[in-house]
Amino acid sequence: MVEKDAIPQTLLAIWGQSILSEGWTTIPNVLIRSQSLLNISNSELVLLMHLISFIHHPLSQIYPSINLLAERMNQDRRTIQRTMKRLEDKELVRKRIRSKGS
């Protein structure tokens, strides 16, 4: 839960406390305006937005699981993997392997 004092007043005026109490995500307008120029599909852009939503400060590491992303986006795991691969190929994201095993 986000404290009211931490929410910018402009956002509060637009969205209200009840919606923003769970947090919010800042997306650079240049990313949205340059979607066509960057050759980013709608599904790639939405996945990027979900990834960005995990950033909490400038040095944040983003580690959502494929399962979590699939659930959030109402997509099959394989669809998320293919979309992530396209983002990697376009050098918009870099993948780090996390292993729960030894």
Instruction: Please state, as a whole number, how many other Cβ atoms lie within 10 Å of the Cβ of residue 39.
Output: 10
pLDDT at position 23: 86
Q: How many residues does the chain have?
A: 102
Q: For every one of its 102 residues, what pLDDT tens digit does the chain have, with 9 covering 90 and above?
A: 556 567 889 999 999 999 998 888 989 999 999 999 999 999 999 999 999 998 876 777 778 899 999 999 999 999 999 999 999 999 999 877 766 665
Say if residue 46 is in the same domain as residue 83. yes
Residue 65 lies inside a defined structural domain of this protein = yes
Q: Contact, 88 vs 94, CB < 8 A?
A: yes
| pTM, full prediction | 0.81
Residue 12 lies inside a defined structural domain of this protein = yes
Residue 71 lies inside a defined structural domain of this protein = yes
Say if residue 39 is in the same domain as residue 74. yes
* Residues 51/56/61/65 CA torsion (nearest 10 deg): -40
Paired tokens of 33: 């305006």
Q: Structurally, how many domains does the chain consist of?
A: 2
Say if residue 53 is in the same domain as residue 84. yes
Domain hosting 63: range is: 34-89
CA distance 77 to 33: 28
Q: Contact, 99 vs 49, CB < 8 A?
A: no
Residue 48 lies inside a defined structural domain of this protein = yes
